[in-house]
């Protein structure tokens, strides 16, 4: 033991210093500015840091380009059917889906930090937009206004994406599963060639709509749809069996669309009740910045759709980019991704695109096709431009039933029941958060399901804060370790001394609990010691885990001290952390308890307690003798 | 070091066991049932525990009664003027204020655990009720409906009081200060004898109402009011100078009322523009249970008023009871107080009483008058019954200006600027929470002020959870202590090893932050070590302060591990707590990182790291030689 070593009671830093460091810590945990401070070429370094494009483009060469071109062409073949399908899901003209694979990938290629992420539209968010905005302006009633509101929502998505990152894995798992189910069920409309359908998304309404319209069912449509579905699922099965054949499954949706088009064109499918996409004009994205609609009447729905899709698209996109980066031992920067996604959608909303993110299926294909840099997105963008300029009208013959098959096939992969089982095994609360999203989305509505789940997750956080864990510590013999007596049964206490470890933080919301809990530990301890009254003479509170405290918490300590004093129990504090110590000094609590009751280690405090216990015993012995 | 001691990897307890203990911990932190388990006379013990009356009444004797009678009569003399005044503040008939000092004290005497608390009406909550319910049903327009809604709100207050305990000291300080200011300003109406006034409570509206009605000002009223105010403040000053003269200030409001009544009766005050209370009939509380109004139309305001007043009245009452109990080395049980307050208001709402709690002024008088048990409340209740049966009509001559003076005088004591200054010094965030309540109440409205403050306090909690403190640990030489290197400058690190202490909890809301922060610590450390690449070979994460983790947190650990592995850095965990260990085992993270990478103490882990570092160095030396 270092006798010279003492507790640091030096006064706290000034408020402005603390505020500055606190703000920096809260807003920029990775301190991006630090690295430019002492460097030459500071401007270039900063540019490279904030715009990853400038970091990799100087070293780009033809060899890398070869890989990226191949990957880019492969993902284009996925982008065309997906763009058309998901635009249908969002109830907007299918050409918008193609536009959305032209501009946003270019923006991502400049600002994104992932090498593997492929930009594109996603099913869940498409349906979510349709659901949220369609409640206010039904797409069939006023398609132009509806489309403008979709652009506006995309704009808000972009705005919010630069600021938010706050969904738990469990919520995403449940939400994706629930969405996959309702999207699949919705495809029954296309599969059976129904003309009348519900605008609601929940399972009950959709099943009711499907089965109550039985006379509209078209067997021709169903046969074609199921054939396509079997084909798509087979290629998927092939890919799972032989990962090298990934390109078969990547090309399958495109094949489906082409076969569907040819069939529709030559067989005059429309006459047999098979609906086609129709109306796809040549030409690249027209500007849409003038269409953004910020009228207060519609602002609620667009902002709402913006926030929800921002959260989901970002969580999905970043998680996917991260998981591929880990495979390659590279690092994804969450903040840069947020900015890249945000800009991508803001610019997209100005150029007739709707919401894009980094969908799993496309990114996986991009990765497997051997992409090396974000250049593959540029290639896809270029290919898409060619399609828009020359080939778009050909796709107008795509049968809707082919799109339904493509969507359904994609959705099967999103129901991650293995993750749900793992959650159930490991953490029942996480499982409930997941199930709240799943069941809420499937049986009520997408936004309510999401809110239920996020609400549960927040509630859990608040309960954690309201009831921080405390435990009794005991010494492991022949060591200087003091461990939880519940976790390590052979950790032993000392007679007359109770050592408690308090959880963090100590706040207004939990200080009543902490006070009651400390007093209960003392009561329990006295019961254990065969009900001798006042058997405990010292209570040691280990504060080394308490990283912060507020004034109500300090007041609680003051009260515990007074209650213990009334019981002739001495209270000692172990290793208060820097933030806690500051407040104890400023509020004069340290003066009340006395500097000699604060110790750096449990060991030191025990030594002090034993010394005073022995002194007492000695005095008692003396008085016994004199009596 | 105990070589035989190893980390406890034993599997977690069953879900039902954990759930049961978690629920008990969350709902009953003081475990009230434990003490009855192994006792004879269990029923009697339990009765005594839950109904404190049965605990003290068997030992009650005449000597104690003498003290309690004296105290009871003293607080009655305070209850009469306060009851009438605050009922006026709540815009209900003054007799309700007297009723409210008859039934609720009896209920409290049976269920309350404090010996000193005196039950009565309070100013802040009275105004709050008037403000909240008056917005829906103005008291002047339909006084009967308004009164019934006040009873209903009181009922809800009772219901919520049995369940809530969740306001920070800072909020209460700011709220009380703000309320005191607006109540004082409102009394200018009575002081100047105004007939027209605003129903709003904010400073600007009230001052505007006072000064725009200048032609209604009555100098007679103002002179009397100011005289009374000077008298009341003088007795208060006297009490502060000589605490033994507390009874002078306790009797002063009663004297004011009696003098006011006599003056009004003999001088025919009404003719000089001095308004009197009027209409106080003989008789005790009529039942009001039939008047409770649960119509959906009014439910929002009554529930809202109920929740807000429940929070405030409870926080105030419990804090006061506690502070007096501490003076006498006794203990207050928060849960019992909640139940006592709740029952008091539920029963009150059935018997024509409005909201009551334990006001500071009355409790202090009770304490100073020498009360020994809750019997003083019973005595007050008895005295009040006599007043209601025989004397009530006499008080109908009380001039309103006297009531205004009594209220103003009481309010001056509630502006606790010393506490606000202390908050400013110790904790700027607590000060902002306090000021949000103060300024919000004073300049916007009572409920918005309170919500602003509570919202800020919750936001602070969420920010804490989102950004838990992490720090770098170093060893104090000649000891086995590992302390924060920022707090203890002489704590030294080890070459090649970085020791980080993580804050609690590790949740979906903060795991991105924790990952980025850990990686930043590593970068910073490498910068410090003169930019040698890969200078760090081991990262030790001290988890002894982390009391809980969720699945997203586990995923973050998995990711940190992979990123570190990619940088050839080894990750070691120190002392995961019982809840964290359970989840790491169940999610197989322990298998991924390996059991030999988990240590009980930093010391053990350092030993293991050094061993591997030396071995490496040795191998390097060997290869150097062979080369």
Q: Which tens digit of pLDDT belongs to each residue from B113-127?
A: 888 889 999 888 888
Q: Which of A2, A426, A487 is closest, CB to CB, to B578?
A: A487
Please count the structural domains in chain A.
2
- Among the candidates B394, B417, B440, a domain finishes at B417
- Among the candidates A375, A398, A416, a domain finishes at A416
| Residue B283 shares a structural domain with residue B363 | yes
Residue B406 lies in a domain: yes
| Residue A261 shares a structural domain with residue A401 | yes
What does the pLDDT look like over B226-244, one tens digit per residue?
Answer: 999 999 899 888 888 888 8
Q: Does the structure show a pLDDT above 70 at A29?
A: no
Would the CB atoms of A2 and B581 count as touching at under 8 Å? no
Token pair in block for residue B378: 């019973």
Q: What is the DSSP letter of A494?
A: B
User: Which of the two residues, A253 and A20, has the higher pLDDT score?
Assistant: A253
Work out whether strand A471-475 and strand A497-501 pair parallel, antiparallel, or are unpaired.
antiparallel
A192 Cβ neighbours under 8 A, 6+ residues apart = A210, A216, A217, A218, A221, A222, A225
Q: Summarize the confidence of residues A81-95 as an average pLDDT.
A: 88
pTM of the model: 0.73
Residue B461 lies in a domain: no
User: Which ipTM value was assigned to this complex?
Assistant: 0.74
Instruction: Report pLDDT for A379.
Output: 92
Nearest CA in chain A to B6: A488
- Exposed, middle or buried by CB within 10 Å (0-12, 13-18, 19+), for B34? middle
Most distant pair of Cα atoms in chain B: their distance: 119
Q: Does the structure show a pLDDT above 80 at B181?
A: yes
What does the pLDDT look like over B154-176, one tens digit per residue?
Answer: 998 888 877 655 677 788 888 88
Q: Which of B15, B29, B463 is closest, CB to CB, to A26?
A: B463
Residue B328 lies in a domain: yes
Distance CA A257, CA A251 (A): 10
How many other CB atoms sit within 10 Å of the CB of residue B140? 10
Asked, as a colleague might, if the bond just before A579 is cis with ω within 30 of 0, I would say no
Give the least confident one: A197-206, B2-11, B106-115.
Answer: B2-11
Q: Does the structure show a pLDDT above 90 at A211?
A: no
Query: A468: which chain B residues are within 8 Å (Cβ-Cβ)?
Result: 504, 547
Nearest CA in chain B to A465: B461
- Among the candidates B378, B401, B417, a domain finishes at B417
Q: What is the CATH number of the domain that holds B582?
A: 3.30.750.24
Residue A3 lies in a domain: no
Q: What is the DSSP letter of B352?
A: T
| Residue A148 shares a structural domain with residue A228 | yes
Is the CB of residue B479 less than 8 Å from the CB of residue A527? no
Residue B218 at interface with chain A, using a CB cutoff of 8 Å: no
| Residue B396 shares a structural domain with residue B477 | no
| Residue B269 shares a structural domain with residue B359 | yes
| Residue A115 shares a structural domain with residue A233 | yes
Would the CB atoms of A169 and B478 count as touching at under 8 Å? no
Query: B569: which chain A residues are within 8 Å (Cβ-Cβ)?
Result: none
Residue B427 lies in a domain: no
Whole domain around residue A513: which residue ranges? 471-626
Distance CA B265, CA B472 (A): 78
Residue A9 lies in a domain: no
What are residue B120's DSSP bridge partners?
B357
Q: Which of A329, A422, A509 is closest, CB to CB, to B461?
A: A509
Residue A262 at interface with chain B, using a CB cutoff of 8 Å: no
Tell me the helix, strand and coil percentages in chain B, rounded to 5.
65, 5, 30
| Residue B107 shares a structural domain with residue B231 | yes
| Residue B329 shares a structural domain with residue B236 | yes
Distance CA A146, CA A139 (A): 5
* Terminal Cα-to-Cα distance of chain A (whole angstroms): 40
Instruction: Report pLDDT for A2.
Output: 40
Q: How confident is the model at residue A397 (pLDDT cuts 50, 70, 90)?
A: confident
Query: A480: which chain B residues are within 8 Å (Cβ-Cβ)?
Result: 480
Residue B509 at interface with chain A, using a CB cutoff of 8 Å: yes
Would the CB atoms of A19 and B575 count as touching at under 8 Å? no
Would the CB atoms of A508 and B167 count as touching at under 8 Å? yes
| Residue A490 shares a structural domain with residue A402 | no
CA distance B465 to chain A (A): 8
| Residue A79 shares a structural domain with residue A192 | yes
Token pair in block for residue A379: 């290639």
Helix axes A296-327, B551-566, angle to 10 degrees: 50
Q: Does the structure show a pLDDT above 90 at B439?
A: yes
Instruction: Report pLDDT for A439.
Output: 93
Distance CA B375, CA B117 (A): 11
Query: A476: which chain B residues are within 8 Å (Cβ-Cβ)?
Result: 2, 5, 600
| Residue A170 shares a structural domain with residue A255 | yes
Q: What is the DSSP letter of B269?
A: G
Residue B22 lies in a domain: no
Q: What is the DSSP letter of B390?
A: I
What does the pLDDT look like over A574-607, one tens digit per residue?
Answer: 999 888 898 898 888 999 999 999 998 898 899 8
Residue B423 lies in a domain: no
| Residue B402 shares a structural domain with residue B545 | no
* Cα pseudo-dihedral B559, B561, B564, B568, rounded to 10: -140
């Amino acid at each position: 033991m270092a006798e010279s070593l003492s507790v640091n009671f030096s006064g706290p830093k000034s408020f402005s210093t603390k505020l500055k460091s606190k703000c920096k810590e809260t807003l920029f945990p990775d301190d991006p500015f630090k690295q430019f401070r002492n460097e030459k070429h500071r401007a270039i370094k900063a540019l490279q840091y904030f715009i990853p494009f400038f970091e990799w483009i100087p070293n780009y060469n033809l060899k890398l380009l070869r890989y990226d071109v191949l990957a880019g062409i492969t993902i284009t073949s996925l982008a065309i059917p997906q763009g058309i399908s998901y635009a249908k899901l969002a109830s907007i003209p299918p050409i918008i889906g193609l536009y959305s694979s032209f501009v946003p990938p270019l923006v991502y290629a400049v600002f994104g930090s992932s090498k593997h992420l492929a930009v594109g539209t996603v099913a869940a968010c498409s349906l979510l937009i349709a659901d949220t905005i369609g409640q206010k302006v039904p797409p069939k009633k006023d398609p132009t206004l509806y489309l403008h509101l979709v652009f506006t929502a995309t704009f808000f998505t972009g705005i919010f994406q630069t600021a938010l990152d706050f969904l738990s894995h469990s919520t995403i798992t449940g939400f994706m599963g629930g969405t996959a189910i309702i999207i699949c069920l919705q495809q029954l409309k296309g599969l059976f060639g129904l003309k009348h359908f519900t605008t609601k998304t929940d399972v009950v309404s959709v099943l009711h709509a499907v089965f109550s319209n039985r006379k509209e069912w078209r067997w021709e449509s169903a046969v074609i749809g199921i054939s396509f579905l079997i084909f798509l699922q087979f290629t998927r099965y092939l890919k799972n069996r032989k990962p090298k054949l990934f390109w078969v499954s990547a090309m399958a949706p495109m094949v489906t669309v082409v076969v569907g088009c040819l069939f529709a064109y030559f067989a005059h499918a429309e006459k047999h009740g098979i609906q086609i996409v129709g109306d796809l004009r040549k030409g690249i994205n027209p500007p849409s910045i003038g269409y953004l609609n910020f009228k207060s009447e519609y602002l609620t729905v667009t902002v709402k759709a913006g926030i929800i899709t921002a959260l989901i698209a970002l969580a999905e996109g970043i998680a996917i980019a991260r998981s591929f980066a880990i495979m390659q031992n590279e690092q994804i920067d969450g903040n840069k991704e947020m900015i890249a996604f945000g800009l991508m959608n803001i610019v997209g909303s100005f150029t007739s695109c709707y919401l894009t993110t980094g969908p799993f299926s496309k990114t996986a294909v991009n990765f497997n096709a051997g992409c090396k840099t974000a250049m593959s997105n540029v290639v896809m963008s270029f290919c898409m431009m060619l399609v828009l300029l020359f080939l778009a009208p050909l796709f107008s013959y795509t049968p809707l039933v082919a799109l339904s098959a493509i969507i359904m096939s994609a959705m099967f992969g999103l129901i991650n029941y293995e993750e749900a089982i793992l959650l159930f095994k490991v953490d029942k609360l996480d499982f409930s958060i997941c199930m709240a999203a799943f069941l809420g989305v499937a049986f009520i509505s997408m936004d309510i399901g999401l809110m239920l789940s996020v609400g549960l997750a927040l509630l859990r956080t608040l309960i954690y804060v309201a009831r921080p864990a405390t435990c009794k510590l005991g010494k492991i013999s022949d060591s200087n370790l003091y461990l939880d007596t519940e976790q390590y049964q052979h950790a032993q206490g000392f007679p007359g001394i109770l050592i408690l470890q308090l959880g963090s933080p100590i706040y207004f919301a939990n200080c009543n609990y902490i006070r009651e809990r400390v007093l209960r530990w003392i009561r329990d301890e006295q019961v254990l010691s065969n009900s001798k009254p006042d058997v405990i003479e010292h209570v040691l509170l280990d504060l080394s885990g308490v990283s912060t405290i507020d004034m109500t918490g300090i007041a609680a300590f003051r009260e515990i001290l007074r209650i213990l004093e009334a019981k002739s129990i001495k209270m000692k504090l172990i290793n208060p952390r820097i933030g806690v110590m500051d407040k104890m000094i400023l509020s004069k609590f340290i003066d009340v308890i006395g500097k000699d009751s604060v110790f750096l280690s449990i060991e030191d405090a025990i030594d002090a307690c034993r010394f005073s216990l022995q002194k007492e015993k000695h005095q008692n012995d003396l008085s016994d003798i004199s009596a």
